[in-house]
């Protein structure tokens, strides 16, 4: 039976990591990686996470199952962080999932069960959105989102696409820190978007994977908070991988937000049933860590302060990079005002490969770079190598 299978292509990004590791050149630069890096090139464990892990090691007295919902305290506190004041206006029911990816997959399974057939995703988007939704059996349709050459959001075209969407369609939106473009939507744009989705009967599925990496914890959720007050139902897929640095602990949640508790509970009962026939119950550790941090004012303050430092570092690199690149690539002045870890550079595949071969600068052929892959001291040198392309 195994022989009947065909070999699958390696994940392009994971393959790139392998190539980078094998490159013996000193001073090589990894802009492909999808995790935060500090000035020393490390992906640190947050201080608050370490402190809580010590407590859990001593204090945890059982490894018995948590149940299909996962850690209720995690869900409650995480939703306070995401929903803010808006949480009081709506009914929300959450299920803990293995990472944001698990949340997206459960969301896809749920909307299929609810009768949706299509999900609309921006062009471009995180490639795994397409993979996850297609694997679940949804038809994946693109809407225009971003013009890479001019580094602008194609907002009018995006709205026009939603104007012709069908009731029951699902719209995948990035809550903030768009991957791969970093391009933000203004609050006014979120308002216009919310109005159109409500009018067309389109269900928004908001992917919130980088809260705190853009403009701030509250600021990064403001569009989403407005949206849930306007549309009758929203799905929110939250990842704690980046915001709490828990990547490998597979920590996330899917929240069904509705105008009334009965609808949210119905969604939750189905999300749990779907989880049962998939991975059954989520891993405990990451959620226990986040719950403990968010239950303690001092730990929360320390975690948020560390996140502030990360955000400030990314913003600083963005400004330096944008100023340097704007000469050879005028559109890249926009990189300074983009958010989160990623920007999408208007490079050809040949140029990306030339940077890799000639200068050991690694990024996927799409031109997506992780700003956090750069150390401040490297920026000038990297800018010079980019500028020499044109």
Contacts with ligand PMP, residue ranges (CB under 6 A): 34, 99-101, 126, 179, 207, 209, 239, 241, 247, 252
The minimum distance between CB 67 and ligand PMP, in angstroms, equals 21
Query: How many residues are present in the chain?
Result: 390
48 carries an active-site annotation: no
Structure tokens at 367: 């031109």
268 carries an active-site annotation: no
- Dmax over Cα atoms in the chain, in whole Å? 61
The minimum distance between CB 82 and ligand PMP, in angstroms, equals 14
Distances (CA, A) of 232 to 105, 110, 141: 22, 16, 23
The helix/strand/coil state of 92 is strand
Q: Nearer Cβ to ligand PMP, position 209 or 228?
A: 209
Sign of the dihedral through C-alpha 273, 274, 275, 280:
positive
CA angle in degrees (0–180, nearest 5) for 120-230-104: 40
From CA 73, how far away is CA 274, in angstroms rounded? Answer: 21
Catalytic residue among 209, 256, 275, 372: 209
Task: At 208, give phi and psi (nearest 5°).
Answer: -115, 90
Positions of E strands within 155-301: 170-174, 203-208, 233-239, 252-258
Answer yes or no: are the C-beta atoms of 264 and 129 closer than 8 Å: no
Q: What is the DSSP pairing of strand 152-153 with strand 170-174? A: unpaired
The minimum distance between CB 251 and ligand PMP, in angstroms, equals 7
209 carries an active-site annotation: yes
The minimum distance between CB 179 and ligand PMP, in angstroms, equals 4
Q: Nearer Cβ to ligand PMP, position 303 or 329?
A: 303
Q: Nearer Cβ to ligand PMP, position 114 or 127?
A: 127
Catalytic residue among 136, 161, 221, 242: 242
Answer yes or no: are the C-beta atoms of 117 and 141 closer than 8 Å: no
The minimum distance between CB 87 and ligand PMP, in angstroms, equals 21
Q: Nearer Cβ to ligand PMP, position 83 or 340?
A: 340
Catalytic residue among 30, 79, 107, 126: 126
Q: Nearer Cβ to ligand PMP, position 151 or 239?
A: 239
79 carries an active-site annotation: no
Q: Nearer Cβ to ligand PMP, position 303 or 386?
A: 303
Among candidates 113, 82, 120, which has minimal Cα distance to 252?
Answer: 82
The minimum distance between CB 379 and ligand PMP, in angstroms, equals 23
Q: Which are the catalytic amino acids?
A: 126, 207, 209, 242
């Amino acid at each position: 039976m195994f022989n009947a299978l065909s070999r699958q292509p390696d994940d392009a990004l994971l393959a790139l990591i392998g190539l980078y590791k094998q490159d013996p050149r000193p001073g090589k630069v990894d802009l492909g990686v999808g995790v935060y890096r500090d000035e020393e090139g490390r992906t640190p464990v947050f201080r608050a996470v370490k402190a809580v892990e010590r407590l859990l090691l001593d204090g945890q007295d059982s490894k018995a199952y948590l149940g299909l919902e996962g850690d209720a305290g995690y869900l409650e506190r995480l939703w306070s962080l995401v929903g803010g004041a808006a949480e009081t206006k709506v009914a929300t029911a959450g299920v803990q999932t293995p990472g944001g990816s698990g949340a997206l997959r459960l969301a896809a399974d749920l909307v299929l069960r609810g009768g949706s057939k299509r999900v609309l995703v921006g062009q471009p988007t995180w490639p795994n959105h397409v993979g996850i939704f297609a694997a679940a059996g949804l038809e994946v349709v693109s809407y225009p989102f971003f013009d890479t050459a001019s580094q602008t959001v194609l907002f009018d075209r995006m709205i026009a696409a939603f104007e012709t969407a069908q009731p029951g369609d699902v719209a995948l939106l990035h809550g903030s820190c768009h991957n791969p473009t970093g391009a933000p939507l203004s609050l006014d744009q979120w308002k216009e978007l919310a109005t159109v989705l409500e009018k067309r009967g389109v269900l928004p599925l908001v992917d919130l994977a980088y809260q705190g990496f853009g403009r701030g914890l509250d600021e990064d959720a403001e569009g989403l908070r407005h949206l849930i007050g306007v549309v009758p139902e929203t799905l929110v897929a939250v990842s704690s991988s980046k915001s709490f640095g828990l990547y490998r602990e597979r920590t996330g949640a899917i929240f069904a937000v509705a105008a009334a508790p009965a609808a949210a509970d119905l969604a939750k009962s189905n999300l749990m049933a779907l989880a049962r026939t998939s991975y059954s119950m989520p891993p405990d550790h990451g959620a226990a860590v986040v719950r403990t941090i968010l239950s303690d004012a001092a730990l929360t303050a320390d975690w948020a302060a560390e996140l502030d430092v990360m955000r400030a570092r990314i913003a600083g690199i963005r400004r330096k990079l944008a100023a340097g690149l704007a000469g050879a690539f005028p559109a890249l002045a926009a990189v300074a005002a983009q958010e989160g870890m990623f920007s999408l550079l208007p490079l050809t595949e040949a140029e990306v490969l030339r940077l890799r071969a000639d200068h050991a600068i690694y990024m996927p052929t799409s031109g997506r770079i992780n700003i956090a892959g750069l150390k401040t001291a490297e920026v000038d040198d990297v800018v010079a190598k980019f500028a020499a392309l044109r």
